[in-house]
């Protein structure tokens, strides 16, 4: 950041907790080439004071770059909905430090994270980004494509639909994933990688799961070692931060949210794999050292997307503290399944009330019979076809060492868009 560039923030004084409205934003304003005119000796002291403040801002510039991607993290947890953390990349961002400072209602474990662990907050923000990108990938060909338009998403998340369930689950999974990875890479002083020590084809005091049993070595001698992914820490911090404001509530929306949050975290913790490395003379595998590794986040997204497709609708039970499936013939959901309590709109046409943007102008596949096909995606309205020119990388060559160079080619492509 040059000496003539600084950042200005405008932070509102109130947060609307009752409605869950995402109303607090830090508006980023970049001011370049600040020119200071000569001032009288009477004003010079005040000017020097301002210079000292700007100097403090410059010293924090590196940390500020990371904060540009922190979006509504604290607000995500202290309000019933979580819309504004999807504005990644916009000029509207949030500084969780300032929000936590203004939010006096924060208590308990979430308050400790918010006020005492700024490095952890950065990883939580990174996890939100991971979840955002995966949601957009998984829904890229559906009527609702995980839009990042804040007003639309806020309306959608006000309702307890399948889409809301997936958003909550993938976000909880993303936070678990990012925090766990940060532990493994040594980016957090609060944790380290998971150094297992149990030997001899057994897990010691570790909790076995069906997926863990499948991934364990079946032959030869092996022992735990290396530096595995510390998913226990990531799981705990995700739960502490994302679930804390809701644990004392028992309304149906809260129960559904907590269930889906947990399903997202379990999609990582209970589906870890075991990797091993051989040790021995001349490449022999006399002994193997093994460690636990998280699944690829794409696999996590695929698993949660399958749960989304088979999500169960639930209603409050008579005791007021739990839920049951809406129909007696529907199989009760287990802890890995996603659930919802409100039906989704069809997302065919724009609707301000539901947040639907419609599908007009969306690209579709004229030869597909699936959800990306023009018949389903365009809701029977038909589609327009045109030929466009697109730039692609072509004639790529490998150069020693180690570079790949490509030319840019123009190709004609047929594009179908919904009417």
Tell me the pLDDT tens digit for each residue of 242-291: 887 777 787 899 999 999 999 999 999 999 988 888 877 766 777 778 88
pLDDT for 113: 75
More confident residue, 295 or 46: 295
More confident residue, 149 or 222: 149
Which helix (H) or strand (E) element contains residue 377?
helix 374-377
pLDDT for 412: 92
Tell me which CATH code domain 359-418 carries: 3.30.2460.20
Domain ranges for the chain, please list them.
96-197+220-358, 359-418
- Residue 66 — pLDDT band, cuts 50, 70, 90? very low
Find tokens 């953390």 and name the residue. 85
pLDDT for 299: 96
CA atoms within 13 A on the CB side of 403: 5
If phi over 0 gives left and psi between -120 and 50 gives alpha, with beta otherwise, what is residue 212? alpha
Q: Which of 174, 184, 95 is nearest to 129 (CA)?
A: 174
More confident residue, 135 or 71: 135
Angle formed at CA 78 by CA 103 and CA 70, multiple of 5 degrees: 80
Return d(Cα 322, Cα 329) in angstroms, integer: 18
Return d(Cα 239, Cα 217) in angstroms, integer: 31
More confident residue, 412 or 225: 412
Q: Is residue 10's pLDDT more than 70? A: no
pLDDT for 48: 56
Find tokens 């020097």 and name the residue. 48
Q: Is residue 136's pLDDT more than 90? A: yes
Return d(Cα 332, Cα 173) in angstroms, integer: 23
> pTM for this one?
0.71
The token duo for 290 is: 């093994």
């Amino acid at each position: 950041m040059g000496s003539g560039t600084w950042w200005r923030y405008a932070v509102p004084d109130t947060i609307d907790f009752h409605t869950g409205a995402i109303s607090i934003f830090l508006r980023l304003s970049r001011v370049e080439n600040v020119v200071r005119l000569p001032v009288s000796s009477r004003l010079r002291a005040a000017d020097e004071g301002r210079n000292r403040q700007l100097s403090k801002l410059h010293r924090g510039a590196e940390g500020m770059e990371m904060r540009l991607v922190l979006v509504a993290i604290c607000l995500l947890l202290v309000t019933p909905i979580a819309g504004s953390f999807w504005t990644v990349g916009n000029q509207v961002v949030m500084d969780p430090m300032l929000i936590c400072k203004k939010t006096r209602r924060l208590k308990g474990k979430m308050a400790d994270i918010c006020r005492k662990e700024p490095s952890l907050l950065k990883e939580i923000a990174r996890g939100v980004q991971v979840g955002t990108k995966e949601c957009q990938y998984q829904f890229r060909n559906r009527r609702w494509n995980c839009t990042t338009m804040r007003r639309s998403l806020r309306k959608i998340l006000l309702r307890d639909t399948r889409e809301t369930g997936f958003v909550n689950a993938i976000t909880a999974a993303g936070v678990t994933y990012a925090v766990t990875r940060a532990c493994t890479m040594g980016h957090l002083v609060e944790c380290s990688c998971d150094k297992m020590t149990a030997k001899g084809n057994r897990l010691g005091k570790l909790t076995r799961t069906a997926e863990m049993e499948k991934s364990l070595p079946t032959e030869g001698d092996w022992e735990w070692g290396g530096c595995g992914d510390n998913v226990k820490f990531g799981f705990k911090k995700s739960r502490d931060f994302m679930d804390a404001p809701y644990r004392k509530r028992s309304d149906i929306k809260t129960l559904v949210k907590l269930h889906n949050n947990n399903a997202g975290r379990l999609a990582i913790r209970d589906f870890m794999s075991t990797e091993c490395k051989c040790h021995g003379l001349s490449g022999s595998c006399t002994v193997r050292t093994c460690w636990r590794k998280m699944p690829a986040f794409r696999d996590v997204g695929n698993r949660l997307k399958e749960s989304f497709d088979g999500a169960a609708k639930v209603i409050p039970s008579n005791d007021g503290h739990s839920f049951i499936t809406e129909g007696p013939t529907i199989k009760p959901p287990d802890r890995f399944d996603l659930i919802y309590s409100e039906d989704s709109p069809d997302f065919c046409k724009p609707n301000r009330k539901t947040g639907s943007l419609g599908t007009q102008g969306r690209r579709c596949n004229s030869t597909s019979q699936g959800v990306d096909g023009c018949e389903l995606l365009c809701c029977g309205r038909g589609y327009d076809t045109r030929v466009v020119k697109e730039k692609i990388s072509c004639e790529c060559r490998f150069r020693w060492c180690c570079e790949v160079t490509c030319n840019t080619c123009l190709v004609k492509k047929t594009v179908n868009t919904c009417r």
